[in-house]
Amino acid sequence: MVKVPADMPEKNTVGEEADDEMFQPQIGVEAQFIKDLSFENPLGANGTEIITQTPEVNVEISTNARPLEGDKYEVAIVIRGEAKTPEATVFIVELTYAGVLKISNAPEDAIGPILLIEGARLLFPFARNIVADVSRDGGFPPLLINPIDFAQLYRDQHMTNGSTNGVSSN
- Is residue 112 situated within a structural domain? yes
Report the pLDDT value the prediction gives residue 65, as an integer from 0 to 100. 96
Let me know: does 117 contact 154? Beta carbons within 8 Å. yes
Strand order in the sheet with 89-104: 26-40, 89-104, 72-84, 56-67
Report the pLDDT value the prediction gives residue 164, as an integer from 0 to 100. 52
pTM: 0.79
Percent of the chain residues past pLDDT 90, beyond the cut: 58
- What does the pLDDT average to over 137-153? 92
If phi over 0 gives left and psi between -120 and 50 gives alpha, with beta otherwise, what is residue 166? left
- Is residue 5 situated within a structural domain? no
d(CA 160, CA 48): 41
The parent domain of residue 155 ranges over 32-159
Strands (E), 10-164: 26-40, 56-67, 72-84, 89-104
Let me know: does 101 contact 28? Beta carbons within 8 Å. yes
- Is residue 123 situated within a structural domain? yes
- Is residue 48 situated within a structural domain? yes
- Is residue 152 situated within a structural domain? yes
Q: Is the pLDDT at 68 greater than 80, yes or no?
A: yes
Lowest mean per-residue pLDDT among 46-50, 61-65, 81-85, 156-160: 46-50
Report how many domains make up the chain.
1
Per residue in 30-42, pLDDT (tens digit) is 999 999 999 999 9
d(CA 167, CA 154): 11
- Is residue 45 situated within a structural domain? yes
- Is residue 149 situated within a structural domain? yes
CATH code of the domain covering residue 116: 3.10.420.10
Per residue in 70-124, pLDDT (tens digit) is 999 999 999 999 999 888 899 999 999 999 999 998 888 889 999 999 999 999 9
Report the pLDDT value the prediction gives residue 45, as an integer from 0 to 100. 75
